[in-house]
Structure formats: structure tokens, C-alpha cells
Amino acid sequence: MIDFGTLKTTRRDVRLISRIATRAQGLHLGDIDRLSLVMDLEATHAVCCPLRLNDLLSATDSDFAHDIVGIHSHLDRDTGELSGCFVPRYAD
């Protein structure tokens, strides 16, 4: 299980992740609740695949949706790794 207390994310990262989750909610990208999405993004960014958070936040709706839905669908919540060879478009 991912230990969120040990993740290395900055306050800036957390603010950007929160803004990304708010944008995702506005796009109604399926049955993804905000808290789960914030946790998914933080785990992805800190554990396996650093994200270009500013670029993701300002991405086109289709690129944004690709990364959000892909991360939500492919994140192994036990290990923090992405499965299925999924790589976000806004991976760093």
C-alpha cells in the first residue's frame, strides 16, 4: 500500500494537483471522485512517473482527459506503478 505520509511532493505540486482535480471534475470524466483522483495523481507524480503538472493543467481537453483517465485506470494503488505500458502524455 502506498504510504502517502512519505511521498515527496512540494506544496506547489499539491496545489497544482488540486487544480488539476478541480478541472477534471468540471469535465465529468466518468466515475472518478476528487479525493481518489488527487491521491492517484500524487502517487503517480511522486512514485513512478513525475508529471509536468503545469503543462497537464493547461493541456487541451482531449490530452488532459487521456492522462487523467489513463492514470486512474492504470495506477496500481498498492505499488504506485502504472500498468499496461501506459505512459501519460505529460510525463516528465
Domain ranges in the chain are 9-74
24 pLDDT more than 90: yes
pLDDT digits 0-9 by tens, 72-89: 999 999 899 999 999 999
Contacts (Cβ under 8 Å, ≥6 apart) of 36: 72
CA–CA–CA angle 74, 32, 12 (5° rounding): 80
Q: What is the average pLDDT value for the chain, to the nearest integer?
A: 94
pLDDT digits 0-9 by tens, 43-82: 999 999 999 999 999 999 999 999 999 999 999 998 999 9
Predicted TM-score (pTM) of the model is 0.92
Alpha-helix residue ranges (DSSP H) falling in 28-83: 34-43, 53-57, 61-74
12: enclosing H helix or E strand:
helix 11-27
